[in-house]
Copies of this chain bind each other. A is one copy, B any other.
Amino acid sequence: MGLVLADDLLGRGLQRIQGEIDQAFDAILQVSEDGRQRLLMAMRHAAIGGGKRVRPLLLVTTAEMYGAARPAAVRAACAIEAIHVYSLVHDDLPCMDDDAMRHGRPTVHKAFDEATAVLAGDALHALAFELLTDPATSSDPFVRSELVRCLAIASGAGGMAGGQMMDIAAEGADFDVRAVTRLQQLKTGALLGAAVEMGAILARVPEEGRAHLRAYARDIGLAFQIADDLLDHEGNEAKAGKALRKDADKGKATFVSLMGPEKAREQARALSEQAIGHLQGHGREADLLRALARFVVEREN
């Protein structure tokens, strides 16, 4: 499969999932007229019309690969995206990263206010688990419960939130590549891994049949983060739609600061190839996951 074809496949895949996620959030987040308008409007601002939707694409593609129905997978994908989006809203707060722009638009606390941003993040967090336990996501309560369990573990103290705490602790600390790897495996890797795992849960792939998917997710997670560091180092703020070089300014250890840009790029590409290697038991139905593994290291934002 040529790179052009892969890009085309991926482009169509991303465009389709972006439309589906926007449409689903638009239907779910209906603005009420009872003093909660501001909350719902802030949730919509955060959740609709921005972001690459990489986690939803991973989840839906994996679920479909194993025969799950797409509408149910899109619902579960909204749940993991709600978690990702809430983490961005809280991460952008003045007491955290203090970012004014996200996806080329004002962040939630800039467009609204800080209290609303805290609450909108909290409400998106709860929404994720409400969506997963809706019988429309799966008629099997075991599947619903396992989806919740996977997402809760990946986003809590042992996953994303724990990684964010390590990230704050990393400022000025003496981190090596191993420590940064561990941090990123929690901060971004856990949720990317959960996306693939949730797709497999939805399609009832047994636990022991998911090892290669977990390995794939682990590799693209790290590749994704190294590419992020490279974009931050060399990138273009207009394309990124957010402020860059903030890590370097804070003296925070990153893959690029520790390995240098050439070695980092080499490592990201090697991880991407390694990720694709984990899919060798699959045929054409895994092409989108292969294309995504290439995309995460070649993307420009």
Chain A contact residues, CB within 8 Å of chain B? 34-36, 38-40, 43, 86-87, 90, 93, 95-96, 113-116, 118-119, 121-123, 125-130, 132-134, 140-142, 144-146, 148-149, 151-153, 155-157, 159, 161-162, 164-166, 168-170, 173, 179, 182-183
Contact = CB atoms under 8 A, between A and B. Distances in A.
Given A36-B162, A141-B144, 19 more contacts: A35-B170, A35-B179, A36-B165, A38-B169, A40-B157, A116-B165, A119-B164, A119-B168, A121-B122, A122-B161, A123-B161, A123-B162, A127-B156, A129-B129, A129-B151, A130-B149, A133-B145, A133-B146, A141-B146
What copy number does this chain have within its complex? 2
Contacts of A39: 157, 161-162, 165
Contacts of A149: 129-130, 133-134
B36 A157 contact: yes
Contacts of A140: 141
Contact of A35 (B43, B152, B166): B166
Say whether chain A's binding surface is mostly helix, strand, loop, or mixed: helix
A133 B119 contact: no
Nearest to A142: B141
5 contacts: A40-B157, A93-B118, A129-B129, A130-B152, A145-B148
Contact of A126 (B113, B119, B155): B155
B133 A115 contact: no
Contacts of A132: 148
A106 B71 CA distance: 47
B133 A152 contact: yes
A121 B86 CA distance: 13
A25 to B, nearest CB: 12
B126 A114 contact: no
Contacts of A169: 35, 38
Given A157-B36, A162-B123, A165-B38, A129 B113 contact: no
A265 to B, nearest CB: 27
Given A115-B96, A115-B168, A126 B161 contact: yes
A86 B123 CA distance: 12
A165 B118 contact: no
A149 B134 CA distance: 8
B165 A119 contact: yes
A132 B146 CA distance: 11
* In the complex, the 3 A-B pairs of residues with the closest C-beta atoms, listed nearest first: A126-B156, A95-B114, A133-B149
A36 B122 CA distance: 21
A157 B157 CA distance: 23
Contact of A122 (B90, B133, B183): B90
Interface centre among A125, A132, A140, A168 (most CB of B within 10 A): A125
A185 to B, nearest CB: 11
